[in-house]
Amino acid sequence: MLKLEPVIWVLFGAGMLVGGLLLPAFILVVGLAGPLGLVPADALAFERLHALVAHPIGRLVAAAAIALPLWGGAHHLRHVWIDFGGLRTDGWVGPLLYAVALVGSVFGILAVVRL
C-alpha cells in the first residue's frame, strides 16, 4: 500500500477538486430540482441527457465525475477512520475503501463506454 501512496494522493487531490466542481450541479439539478419538478420536463428527458453525456466531452466529464470523487472520498474516510480507530484496523479498512473506489472507477469507465 505504501508504494501506491503517491498515486492515491494524486487521485485524492484530483478527487477533491473535480468532485467539488462537478458534483454540486449534478446534485442540485438531477438530485433535487428534477425530482421536485422545478426543471423543464424536456431538460432531463432521456434523449437529451443521453446525447449530452454520450458526446466525447460529456463522456470525459462523466468519467471524471464518477471516478475521481470515489478516490477523494475513500482517502478522506480512511484518514478519518485512522483518526478515530487507529492504525490497527487500517490494514483492512484502507484496502476496502480503495477497492470500492477501484471497482466504482472500472464500472464508471464501462458506463461511459457503453453509452
Partner 1 sequence: MSSLQPRVDAMKPRQAGPTRTAPARPPDQFPTQGRYRSYVAFGSCGIFLLLSGLLVLRAVWALGQGPAAWERLQHDFAHPAYLVYHVLALVGIVWFTLRFFRLFPKTQPPRIGPLRRPPDAFFRVALNGAFVVVTLGLVLVLWGVLP
Place of cell 477523494: 72
Q: Within 10 A of 78 (CB to CB), how many other CB atoms are there?
A: 19
CA atoms of 89 and 81, how far apart (whole Å): 9
Q: How many residues bind partner 1 (CB under 8 A)?
A: 66
32 touches partner 1 by CB under 8 A: yes
102 touches partner 1 by CB under 8 A: no
Give the one residue of 80, 91, 95, 99 binding partner 1; rule: CB under 8 A: 80
By beta-carbon proximity to partner 1, the closer residue of 3 and 46 is 46
Residue type, 54: A
Three-class HEC string of 11-73: HHHHHHHHHHHHHHHHHHHHHHHCCCCCCCCCCCCHHHHHHHHHCHHHHHHHHHHHHHHHHHH
Give the one residue of 24, 60, 91, 96 binding partner 1; rule: CB under 8 A: 24
53 touches partner 1 by CB under 8 A: yes
Q: Applying CB under 8 A, which residues contact partner 1?
A: 15-17, 19-36, 39-40, 42-44, 46-50, 52-54, 62, 65-70, 72-77, 79-80, 82-88, 97, 100-101, 104, 107-108, 111-112, 114-115
